[in-house]
Structure 1
């Protein structure tokens, strides 16, 4: 395998992380909504945890995107 093919393969594998981050964000909000509908009184106390989890998950997706771009366009 030459270096160009390995670069594209690595970028594609790194881009899969963005898809997993999107799935994780959907699961995070679905779980919060399910819990909030079961116990509406506790929803306000769990909202900071939701925002923190969203930020961390989204950051991991952005990092995966950054790695893919670095693999493709870094000299």
Structure 2
């Protein structure tokens, strides 16, 4: 069994985005692991394992347009099922 069920990935497109600020907010406010927040001030890619992917989506949507959203169930994947 995995500690965090959902592999959550998305892009945030906006203005004046900050990798550090986004990473700090997620780390301090949303439980999970394996956080990656990379990009520039107009486009950030997020990758995060969590049990509450909707919190990531809600936060990201407050920063700009979100797209290429992928939420995969890693428990299903470990059982050989589609995520």
Say yes or no: TM over 0.5. no
Tell me which structure has the larger Cα radius of gyration. Answer: 1
Instruction: Report the TM-score when normalising by structure 1.
Output: 0.30
The structure carrying a bigger helix percent of its residues is 1
The structure carrying a bigger strand percent of its residues is 2
Larger RCO of the pair (alpha carbons < 8 Å, separation 6+):
1
